[in-house]
Amino acid sequence: MDFAVQAGVLLFGEYRTKAGRLSPYFFNAGLFNDGETLGRLGRFYARALLASGTTFDVLFGPAYTGIPLVAATAMALAEFGRKVPFAFNRKEAKDHGEGGTLVGAPLNGRILIVDDVISAGTSVRESVELIQRAGAHPCGVVIAVDRQERGQGALSAAQEVRSSFGIPVHSICGLDDIEAYLVKRPDQAHHLRSIVAYRQQYGVEPS
């Protein structure tokens, strides 16, 4: 949490989400925009994956946010002694050179999706379809923050992904961790109250 706040990536205030809700916090992974912070973030992703025990053969980053994240994660895993190939996609097919929408390693075997957050699950759904069309098997997702709030129904977006595709979703941190961070900072009590109220209205328990 300290890292995300100091990098200006985790912000507190009032922010409208894609679902139209007024959220008391906002996480913008696109602001990990220099080599040092992106490298540190990649190590957090790598540690989360290694701790999860998930078995995978290739990392996949959905365009566009997932592209730097998957590269940083693969580099961090290599630092930890785990050499893993990675791939990502283009939004539009290239009609020259190697062509197609996929860049990087072939999608073979068990594919782990690397993204920033899951909102409506659209990015994960598109990634799963792309991986399956390539003849590979999606085996999980890793994200930076699990918002732990309801998606379209009673489940969170992450829980909906688990239910729809039968694959685990791992996160570096969640709303529980954000609350725990604020509890230790009395000067941020007003932000904590806002998050507790928001969670009472929209939250779900982690699964």
Label residue 196 exposed, middle or buried (CB < 10 Å: 0-12, 13-18, 19+): middle
Average of per-residue pLDDT across 4-16: 93
Each residue of 163-173: pLDDT tens digit? 999 999 999 99
Catalytic positions, written as ranges: 94, 96
Between CA 17 and CA 103 the distance in angstroms is 31
Beta strands in 36-164 (DSSP E): 58-61, 86-94, 100-104, 110-114, 137-146
* pLDDT, the chain, mean: 91
80's CB contacts (< 8 A; 6+ apart) are 46, 47, 50
Between CA 127 and CA 125 the distance in angstroms is 5
The pLDDT of residue 90? 86
Between CA 119 and CA 14 the distance in angstroms is 17
Each residue of 125-148: pLDDT tens digit? 899 999 999 999 999 999 999 989
Q: Which residue has the higher pLDDT, 154 or 110?
A: 110
Domain 2-202 fold is: Rossmann fold (3.40.50)
The pLDDT of residue 167? 95
Whether 58 shows a pLDDT value over 90: the answer reads yes
109 pLDDT band (50/70/90 cuts)?
Answer: very high
Between CA 191 and CA 13 the distance in angstroms is 7
The pLDDT of residue 97? 47
Domain boundaries defined on the chain: 2-202
Whether 178 shows a pLDDT value over 50: the answer reads yes
Whether 74 shows a pLDDT value over 50: the answer reads yes
Q: Could you tell me the pTM of the whole model?
A: 0.90
The pLDDT of residue 80? 97
Which residues is 145 bridged to in the sheet?
Answer: 117, 173
Name residue 37's amino acid. Answer: T
**Most confident of the following: 14-23, 129-138, 144-153:** 129-138
Between CA 99 and CA 115 the distance in angstroms is 24
